[in-house]
Amino acid sequence: MPPRYPDMPPAQTIHSNGVPFSVHVAGTGLPVILLHGFPELAYSWRHQIAPLVQAGCQVIVPDLRGYGHTGTHGALHDYRMANLALDVTGILDALGAARAVVVGHDFGGALAWTLARDHADRVLGIASLNTPYTRHTDTDLLETLRAHKGPGNYMVFFQQPGAAEELLGRDVYQTFSGMMRRPALSLQAFRQGPAHWQALPATILGQEPALWGEPFLDAQELAVYVDTYRVTGFTGGLNWYRNLRQNWLDGAGTDDRVRVPALMVSADRDFVLPPETTRGMEQYVPDLARHTIADCGHWTQHERADEVSSTLLGWLRQRQWLAPA
């Protein structure tokens, strides 16, 4: 088993959608569920839990399917977004939460948008860190990436069984110590860099030292990720990417509009999901608030933990879901 996460509320096992989920639950009040991205863990939200609890929230933080103490369960098709959304609604059911505020980062943001679109009756509001809402397109995202970014693009590369696991897993310490860093460059400087950077190759994840500056994890925090992924490997998280085409197929004919209040938090140095990827979202997300965090890369809730917490709390209070400070 992976090591237990320090500085987190105790985890409990919650059975949902046929899977025993490891879920950290703290506080009482407004249900807020925090959904992590790749390659992360429930532990990635450790800085946000106490501020939310103190403000009057019941904070729910799962290791999502394929990750950490939840582990890898089911077949590849069980990692499609439609099924992952049922994982989350089942966790809410088990906790007696009729509706919740859903907060997601990276792929957790994509899952949060899916919940807001397809399960609006369970979602009071949605906040996404870095990940834009995208309507259903005429072309599969993978086809678009292959055409415009090439086969080396990380999402395309991740489709290859075994290859991505080998790249990320050959030296797990190097993967996380190289990746979990603040960006060394502005977005403009990144775009003026070598051509292969613009394709967002898989090596951008920790293996392009010119891109990355100071680490934001201390030795103990880094060890949580390294020790966990040495046990679990990366396949569970990669399975989310390996359902991109299925997600596109599943999305055909759905109503593209998000009909719950939303908050979009962007980071001005995110090379992977830059702020301009959120342009035009208001057409499909009419009740949208925005916030951009300066001098921040992709790992937003680590790099600017206090600003993320205060932004979330400000929005929750503005919506009158929490009492004023």
User: pLDDT tier at 7 (50, 70, 90 boundaries)?
Assistant: very high
Q: Give me the mean pLDDT over the 95-117 stretch.
A: 99
Q: Is residue 67 a part of any domain in this protein? A: yes
Token digits of residue 155: 């999402």
Domain annotation covers residue 293: yes
Cis ω for the linkage preceding 2 (within 30 of 0): no
Establish if 313 belongs to a structural domain.
yes
pLDDT above 80 (res 321): yes
- Name the band, by pLDDT with cuts 50, 70 and 90, for residue 138: confident
Question: Does a structural domain hold residue 3?
Answer: no
Tens digits of residue pLDDT in 202-217 = 888 777 888 999 999 9
Q: In this predicted model, what pLDDT tens digit does every residue of 260-314 receive, in sequence order?
A: 999 999 999 999 999 999 999 999 999 999 999 999 999 999 999 999 999 999 9
pLDDT attached to residue 208? 85
pTM confidence score = 0.97
Q: Could you tell me if residue 5 is inside a domain?
A: no
Counting the structural domains of the chain, the total is 1
**Domain assignment of residue 2, yes or no:** no
The whole-angstrom separation of Cα 291 and Cα 69 is 32
What residues pair up with 183 in beta bridges, in sequence order? Answer: 212
Q: Is residue 4 part of a domain?
A: no
Q: Over the range 126-139, which residues count as b (16 or more CB within 10 Å of their CB) and which as e? A: bbbbbbbbbbeeee
Domain with 147 in it: what CATH number? 3.40.50.1820
Q: Distances in Å between the alpha carbon of 116 and those of 119, 300, 323? A: 6, 21, 24
Structure tokens at 165: 């696991």
Domain that holds residue 264: 11-318
| More confident: 187 or 202 | 187
Instruction: Report whether 16 contacts 90 (CB < 8 A).
Output: yes
Catalytic (active-site) positions: 106, 241, 298
Report if residue 208 sits inside a domain: yes
Classify the C-alpha dihedral 206-211-216-220 as positive or negative: positive
